[in-house]
């Protein structure tokens, strides 16, 4: 018999019941803090906007551009959110009302300006609201 020959069926796992298959990977519940993906600034901006809307919006797009002047540097974020249905549209209108005066808590960032650049509100059988929010962030320090 050759050393590379095996008497086991190499395709046995394809027909075996799922409860008998041994999984040799790390479960997600036991992931340490060093293995978690880091949240980017864009992730934090989106999460802050979704917190204002109580999670009712759907992200359509998010553009982030770096900028700098002689004294400051930071990023400009343009986020487009869509709200479908009466409850979601009410949350979108809440975002329009609260965004300019909202106090954001982003680590090492200062929100210099938060405005609503565009609003598209459509009525009908399925009410829909599309909001474009622009945030100008400055790096602290």
Distance CA 132, CA 95 (A): 11
pLDDT digits (tens, 9 = 90+) for 76-114: 999 999 999 999 999 999 999 999 999 999 989 999 999
Handedness of CA 27, 32, 36, 41 (dihedral sign): positive
Distance CA 117, CA 111 (A): 16
Assign 48 to helix, strand or coil: helix
Q: What percent of the chain has pLDDT over 70?
A: 74
């Amino acid at each position: 018999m050759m050393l590379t020959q095996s008497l086991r069926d190499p395709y046995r796992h394809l027909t075996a019941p799922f409860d008998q298959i041994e999984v040799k990977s790390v479960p997600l519940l036991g992931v340490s803090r060093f293995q978690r993906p880091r949240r980017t600034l864009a992730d934090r901006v989106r999460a802050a906007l979704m917190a204002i809307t109580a999670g009712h919006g759907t992200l359509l797009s998010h553009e982030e551009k770096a900028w700098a002047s002689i004294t400051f540097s930071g990023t400009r974020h343009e986020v487009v959110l869509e709200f479908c249905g009466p409850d979601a549209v009410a949350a979108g209108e809440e975002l329009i009302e609260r965004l300019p005066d909202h106090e954001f808590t982003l680590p090492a960032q200062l929100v210099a300006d938060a405005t609503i650049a565009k609003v598209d509100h459509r009525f009908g059988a399925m009410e829909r609201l599309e909001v474009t929010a622009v945030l100008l962030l400055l790096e602290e320090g």
